[in-house]
Amino acid sequence: MALDRLHRSILELIAGSSRVEARRVVAGDPTTIQQQIELQLRDQEKLSALRRRPLRSVWEASPRVMHRLERSLNLSGKEYALAEARQVQLAVAETEPGWSLVTLAADVANKRNEILYSAGSAVAILAIFGAVFTASSEPGYVVLLAAGAALLAGLSAIAASIPWVRWTLNKRRARVELILESLLDQVDR
């Protein structure tokens, strides 16, 4: 458990949070607001409900063939960034009669992991090339030199890849947040 928390803390330090959230107080009954947003999640974003409770629901990319085809062909030019998220959560709470606090949150840990694995693969390849290059040029202390070169190449690649990882993930999070805010805009009229 503590190791898992440490792992998540290191990932968040390197790449940032995997949670993107938009929250707003809007005029309307909580149940009506929930129904409106769920309709948008289903029809506009091509998501399907994993779990529905009063004033709460959890969504993921719809597995329906037509929805998957529409997302992949993308004939409308719409980006389905929420369908790329692991899950989207909706929570609605009444703040006072006629007003509701709406929270939409997307878990983009899967996208964060993809980008980190890509960066990690590049680091590993650079380290291997550094080790092979060093081993082929010096016949003496080959193992020691190769290990040192691999370590140096790996550490250099890690240092160089962190800004790229952050930039890429921040761009993805900003796009998801914009879509979540847009969904809130549609019920905040």
Q: Which pLDDT score, from 0 to 100, does residue 77 have? A: 64
In the sheet that 56-61 helps form, which strands lie side by side, from edge to edge? 19-27, 99-107, 87-96, 56-61, 47-53
SS3 label, residue 78 = coil
Which pLDDT does position 62 carry in this prediction? Answer: 77
Contact status, residue 28 vs residue 100, Cβ threshold 8 Å: yes
pLDDT on residue 144 = 60
Residue corresponding to tokens 């081993």: 135
Cα–chain center distance at 165: 12
CA–CA dist 46, 41 (Å, integer) = 6
CA-based nearest residue to 93, from 39, 59, 55: 55
In order along the chain (189 residues), what is the average pLDDT of each group of 10 residues? 63 74 95 95 89 94 73 68 88 95 92 73 67 60 63 68 79 91 89
Whether the full predicted model's pTM is greater than 0.75, yes or no, is no
DSSP symbols for 66-132:
HHHHHHHH-TT----HHHHSSEEEEEEEEEETTEEEEEEEEE-HHHHHHHHHHHHHHHHHHHHHHHH
* SS3 state of residue 131: helix
Residue 87 pLDDT: 94
The whole-number pLDDT of residue 54 equals: 94
Report pLDDT for 97: 93
Percentage of residues of the chain with pLDDT beyond 70: 63
Predicted confidence at residue 31, as pLDDT, reads 95
